[in-house]
Every structure is written in C-alpha cells, then in structure tokens.
A = this chain, B = another copy of it.
Amino acid sequence: MKLIARYYDLDAAEPLVLIHEDDAAAIGVKENDRVSISGPRSAVALVTCSDTLVERGVVMMPGPVMERCAVREGDEVEVIYSSKPDSVRSIRRKMDGEKLSREEIESIVNDILDNKLSKIEVSAWLTSLYINGMDIDEIADFTKSMAHTGDIIAFDRQPVFDFHSFGGVPGNKITPIVVSIVAAAGVMIPKTSSRAISSACGTSDFVETFCDVELDGPSLKRISEEVGGVFAWGGGMNIAPVDDIVIKIEHPLGINPRAQMLASIMSKKLAIGANYLLVDIPTGTGTKVPTIEDARVYARDMMDLGEKLGIHTECAITYADQPVGNAVGPNLEARECISILEGAKHPASVIEKACDCAGIILDMAGIPGGAAKAREILESGAAHRKFMEIVVAQGGSPELKSEDLKPGQFSEDIVASKSGYIHAIHNKDVVAIAKAAGAPNDKGAGLMIYKKKGQRVEAGDVLMTIYADNEAKLRRARETAIKYPPIDIEGMLIKRVSNMNVRK
C-alpha cells in the first residue's frame, strides 16, 4: 500500500510507526505486527494503529526510521506486511520449555541488539528464561553470543585476571582495594564494573568521584598493560552491549533470570579474554543470594560455565547479612575505600574482605601467602602507590586524599530509641534510605552506619547519619528511615519461651 510519510518525534528504541486502523486492515497487519517500508531504501518497523491520531493514507515515522528508508516528510512510501523474525519462533520454543540451539540463541541475541524484537517479545523472552531456564550448554552459547555482539579486547600481556562481585550488599567498596593489591603484586587485572542498577551505589558510581571511569577499549588495554589494572565502567565500552537493552526490560519486571545473569557476567569476562576469575558471592538476608545453599548453587554454575568457556573460575562466598563497612553512597564509600589504602585500620570488615579476595587471586596467580600476603601489600603502602598510579592514569589528581571526598551538606542523625544490642541491619532498607537521599546520582548522598550487628547501644546513641545534597531529599530519606527502620535493637534475650508462651 502506498502511504505518505510524516515525521513524528518518538523515542527510537523501538522503531514504531503509526498508521490508520483502516490502512492497517488493508495492508493486513494488526497492532504490534511488522511492516516493511520502502522508499529509496527499506526498513522494517513495528505497527501502532489509531483511528484518531493519524489520517488515512499516512504513515507517521520516527526520525531514525525515515533515515533508514532515506525518505523525507511528504514522500510516498510502499508499506507491506513483513513477517516476524525467526527468533520469535525460538522464543516460543523457550516458552514451551525446549532447549535452544546455538544458532537460535545467537539470532535472539543479535535481534535484540539490532532492535528487531519489540519490548513485548523481549519481555516474553526474559520471562520464559526466568521460568524455564537454560542448561549449562545453552548458557555457554548464550554467553558467547553476548560477548560477540560487542568488542573483543585482546591483551598482549598475559595472563588476564579478573574479579567480579554479584553485589546486592550495600557498602561493598572493596574493588579498588582488591585491584590495587593484585596489580601491586605484578598481576594484571583489567577490572570493569557497573553502575548501580537497583542498588544505592555501584563501584563505578563511587570510583567516578575521584577519577574518570569512562575508558574506551584501547585505553583500558594500554593502562592495564602498563600499570597492571584499571577501575573502569564496563558500560562505557562496547563490551557485550546487548546487556544494556536487556536490563531496561528486566528492571521493570524486577527479574534477573539465572541464565541471563550468568551469561551477562561471563560475556564481559570473555570479551576481555580473562584467563582467571574470582567471583565474590555476597550471601545473606536481603541480598540477591539469601542462603549458603543458594550461594553454592551459583558457585557451581559459575565454575561449570567458566570451565565450558576456558576461564579458570573460583568463587568466594562472603558474609552479607549487613552492609560491608560503615559508608554507603558515592563520596562516603570513596572516602572509606581510599582511607583504607592510606593506612586506616578500620572498618575491619572491608579490610578483611578485600584481603581475602585479593589473596585468592594471588594464589591463582601462583604467588604464595594468600590473604596474609595481600594484607602485607596493603600495609606496606604498595597497594596505595599502585592505586594512585591507576587513579592518575584514569585522569584523577596525583594529590588525591580520602578527606577530599565530602559528604552532602545536609545531614541528620538517627538515634537509638532504646538500649540493647543491634539485632539486625536490613540491607534493603539501608539501600532505600540512601536512594531516597539521592544516591547514586547525588554524590554526597548516603549514610554512615556507626553501629553494626551484635554491638551494645544505649538509648540516644547515634546509630547512623544520613547525608544529602539538598533538604527535600534529606526529608524524603528520613521519612523512608521512619517507615522502614533499618536497624533492630533487642535485649540479649531474644525470645522467652515458657508454658504460658508469652513473648517478651
């Protein structure tokens, strides 16, 4: 059918064109079907129908679709039915619980990347993946397909070590410490990190407060080979880019299908040619991995997948029933992280976790001494010197000090309403408060937690301080803290059991 092209200003993630319902019927398409639009060139687009927003005889096209067809406002185009991509059939097969071939998985991944699949189809894909899963062979194919959608970085210096944390625990600022220790020992670790997806502060969110994280592939390669490590933002490179599209659909559904999660992690390791990988699996109430049993399953998955992909993988199941260290939020975490590299002896939980993880990596690299060796490198100042080398290589100041990182100027203390022992610190509530305060976008926002589990507090003691860059967000954070109290205080006698069954 011949229609007149008209421009409309629509966000272009989905190539959605708008045609009159009668024209759609004449072409033989319905809402969410595809049409092929031919001007000087051709493009496929998804159809939205209306009988009020568009006249008969017209096809409303967003700019990118007009460009692909090489047409301008008012040009005549030929619009015909276009069948679904074959990948839709493969998505159906996953709905039906079938095992997909490598070719099928590849075509789904490529069609997502090329915007050939609609949000409806990608959502059905992720939901099927969440419910029906994939076996380890499928996940290996999935990982390779995802890695091949982007750039592959080939290091001249070998071997390549990497470190990854499942995240999910607030305050987990160990990455720059681990990288600095490992690189100081002469082991190359080109570490890419993410920004917060649902958390209050991803590694890149706090590292960017003191140096540039948006490295391109060549810079990542050069700095890693010369200095031994980087703390880069993975999203700034073209590494497994299909992930960014998928996250936008996973996020509103609040799901992260196991196969997608494993493939997403490992595709990035594959893309940088990692030979050795340590995976940190924070385990505890209110994290992604609530129990040790869950953690063991993930660890087994990661190691099996690593084996299939030729990446020697080990896992560390780490304690995550409460935040790591005291600081949550970009500047606050950066300050705590750098102060440890500068020689601070606390918080012990951060130092211990960083040294344990770095020790395992040193061990994989054949350097004896494990966590003790890692701690020696940290305490000797060698890790701090390496850290500063990396910071400077990433455009940070050679004068950087932990005290340069300032908390937000608006703050409020949360005090204990009664005396007793800290019984629980709820990770999810801590995250919610820090986000309400403006983290990770407002760099000064977040909180300092002064009391951890098991500690004795007296009524009136300050438990934590909330920081924000403006007053409205501080108020919002306080309201969140009142609605979801992040810290439970109990007497030592948690529950008294008697014949009368009275709860103290």
A interface vs B, CB < 8 Å? 8-13, 16, 18, 25-26, 28, 30-33, 48-50, 53, 60, 84, 88, 91-92, 95, 97, 118-124, 126-128, 130-132, 248-249, 251-255, 435-436, 438, 441-442
Contact = CB atoms under 8 A, between A and B. Distances in A.
A79 to B, nearest CB: 13
A251 B30 contact: yes
A97 B435 CA distance: 31
26 contacts: A8-B9, A9-B60, A10-B10, A11-B16, A11-B48, A11-B49, A11-B50, A25-B441, A26-B441, A26-B442, A28-B436, A30-B248, A31-B251, A84-B254, A88-B254, A92-B253, A95-B130, A95-B131, A118-B119, A119-B119, A120-B253, A121-B123, A123-B123, A123-B127, A124-B255, A127-B127
Contact of A249 (B11, B32, B127, B436): B32
A251 B32 contact: yes
B92 A31 contact: no
Given A32-B251, A252-B32, A124 B123 contact: yes
Contacts of A50: 11-12
A50 B436 CA distance: 23
A18 B9 CA distance: 10
A217 B442 CA distance: 56
A446 to B, nearest CB: 14
Contacts of A121: 123, 252-253
A254 B97 CA distance: 16
Nearest to A9: B8
Contact of A252 (B25, B118, B436): B118
A499 to B, nearest CB: 37
Nearest to A49: B11
A11 B53 contact: yes
Given A25-B441, A28-B441, A84 B252 contact: yes
A49 B33 CA distance: 24
A442 B50 CA distance: 20
Nearest to A131: B131
Contact of A8 (B10, B13, B84, B249): B10
A127 B95 contact: yes
A432 B32 CA distance: 19
A433 to B, nearest CB: 12
Q: Which of A13, A95, A128, A436 has the most CB of B within 10 A?
A: A95
A287 B97 CA distance: 22
Nearest to A91: B253
A17 to B, nearest CB: 10
Contacts of A130: 95
Contacts of A122: 120
Given A124-B124, A127-B128, 20 more contacts: A8-B9, A9-B9, A11-B16, A11-B48, A12-B50, A13-B48, A30-B251, A32-B251, A84-B254, A91-B253, A92-B253, A92-B254, A92-B255, A95-B127, A95-B130, A119-B119, A119-B120, A120-B122, A121-B123, A124-B127
A370 to B, nearest CB: 40
A168 to B, nearest CB: 17
Contacts of A124: 123-124, 126-127, 253, 255
The 3 nearest A-B residue pairs measured at CB: A123-B123, A127-B127, A32-B252
Nearest to A441: B25
